[in-house]
Every structure is written in structure tokens, then in C-alpha cells.
Amino acid sequence: MSDPTPLYEARNVYKNYGSVAAVKDVSLTIHAGEIVGLVGDNGAGKSSLVKVLSGVYQPDAGQLIVDGVERHWKSPHDAMLAGVETLYQDSGLALDLTIGANVFLGREKMKPGILGRLGFLAQKEMDAEAAEDLERTGIAVHASKRTVGQLSGGQRQAVAIGRAVAWAQKVIILDEPTNHLGARQAGEVLAVMRAARERGLGVIFISHTLPHILEICDRIVVLRLGSVVRDAPTSTFTAESLLGTITGLHAE
């Protein structure tokens, strides 16, 4: 079998919080142009795994491999520099900043020359580029002079997703991005994920909305009590078997 090298691979990863084993011996691959659904009940370890993949936490054991090279993230910034972008379940937008400033949060552009060295931001340039980036990802949030705090929940989420998709070079991880969204907005988020897949990114999509998972994912990984209990193409699941695998009430 000549499986191409995954964009990102986790091998035998563990993450404990004190005596709580949140992630146990998890192995996972994400290939270019693939959407992988990560599902499991509350407490199954999805967000903990995301935080290991994105550099928020270091694994207690196991390997993280990007393009065939083992990596050790010291911070989320390291993972971002390597092309791995993450939308956390708690999205981390700054409500008092403009949309543009949020898109560039942590990577602000400075004015050229002495002004920049004095800490002056290239605000206009960032606003314009942010609007362009969001438009390119298919997310229509205009008027980037507004602060994120003035936006609706759905629009805020759109900015958070747009930021991640705009920066992602290899992999984008979306932890419950459609939560609290209406049907139309959730549909837009799914469209953004499809566009990211078409750009050749690898996408990890976490959701409790199983129809969305079945609709959009190429492969589904089911976590239960911190471990992978099934990793298989979406076509091998039905709505019933997926639910049964998540809850453990169904023979896999």
C-alpha cells in the first residue's frame, strides 16, 4: 500500500490531567484534501486531543508528526508556524478589537519604519487584508471597522473560522464550530470547510451534529473515554451505527 505521507499524524498520544486520563493511546492521521470527523460523547477527550495537536498542551507520551517529521510544540505558536491552525471550542476572540485586529491577533502588522518600531500598528492594511481573507474563505462579514463585540454570535463565529482558514497552510482543526449557529450559518461553515478541503488542506471537524458529520466528512474517528474505538470511511457508517459507536450501546 502506497498511502501518501499524512499532512499530520498523531502516534500513540496520551494526555493526563493529574489522575484523569483524558487521551489514551490515540493514533490519528490527516491527509491533504480530507475532512476527518472527530466525534464522541462529552468528556470523550476530543478537546484535550485538539489541544495536544495544536500545542496548547504537550502530550505525556506519543509523537506528533508533520509531513513525516516529528515535532514538539512548545506553544500553539509553534504549531501555527508549521501550518496547523485551530479554532478552539472557546474561540478566543477579543471582543473590544475590530474584525481586522482579531484576524491578525498575535501576528499584528506594524507600520513601516520608525513608527512600527515604536509600536504603531498598520491598522488600515490589516483591516483591508482581513476583509479580503474573510471574503476568500467565503465568509461575508463586511464593515471591518466594527468591533467583534458588536457582531452577532454567528458573525463572531464566522470571524473566528475565517481567521483560522485564512492562516492555515496545512491543517485546520475546528472544535465544534457550528455550535449555537442557526441552520443557514451552520451551512456556511460546512461550505467553508469544503472550500478548505478543495484548497488541499486537511480538516479535523468536531461536532455533535451527526448529520453534519455524515454529510461532510470523508472519514470518521470515534473517541470513547479517551480512546479511539473506530476510525473508518464515512460510507461504512449509518446514522444508527455512528450513534451506537459513540455511546457504546452498539456493537462496532
Rounded distance, CA 77 to CA 56, Å? 9
Give the nearest distance from C-beta 48 to ligand ADP in angstroms. Answer: 3
Partner touching 138 among ligand ADP, Mg ion, none, CB below 5 to 8 Å by kind? none
Give the nearest distance from C-beta 39 to ligand ADP in angstroms. Answer: 9
Burial of 221 (0-12, 13-18, 19+ CB in 10 A): buried
Residues 6+ apart with CB under 8 A from 11: 27, 62, 63, 64, 65
Query: Per-residue x/- marks for Mg ion, 16-55, CB under 5 A?
Result: ------------------------------xx--------
Give the nearest distance from C-beta 107 to Mg ion in angstroms. Answer: 26
By CB under 6 A, tell whether 2 contacts ligand ADP: no
Partner touching 54 among Mg ion, ligand ADP, none, CB below 5 to 8 Å by kind? none
Please identify, using beta-carbon distances, which residue of 171 and 206 lies nearer to ligand ADP. Answer: 206
Q: How many residues at the interface with ligand ADP, by CB under 6 A?
A: 11
∠ CA 137-191-49, nearest 5°, is 85
Q: How many residues at the interface with Mg ion, by CB under 5 A?
A: 3
Among 10, 13, 48, 171, binds ligand ADP (CB under 6 A): 48
Q: Which of residues 50-69 bind ligand ADP (CB under 6 A)?
A: none
Residue 229 backbone phi and psi in degrees, to 5: -100, -15
Please identify, using beta-carbon distances, which residue of 35 and 223 lies nearer to ligand ADP. Answer: 223
Query: Per-residue x/- marks for ligand ADP, 8-47, CB under 6 A?
Result: ---------x--x-x-----------------x-xxxxxx
Please identify, using beta-carbon distances, which residue of 6 and 45 lies nearer to ligand ADP. Answer: 45
Which residues are at the interface with Mg ion (CB under 5 A)? Answer: 46-47, 89
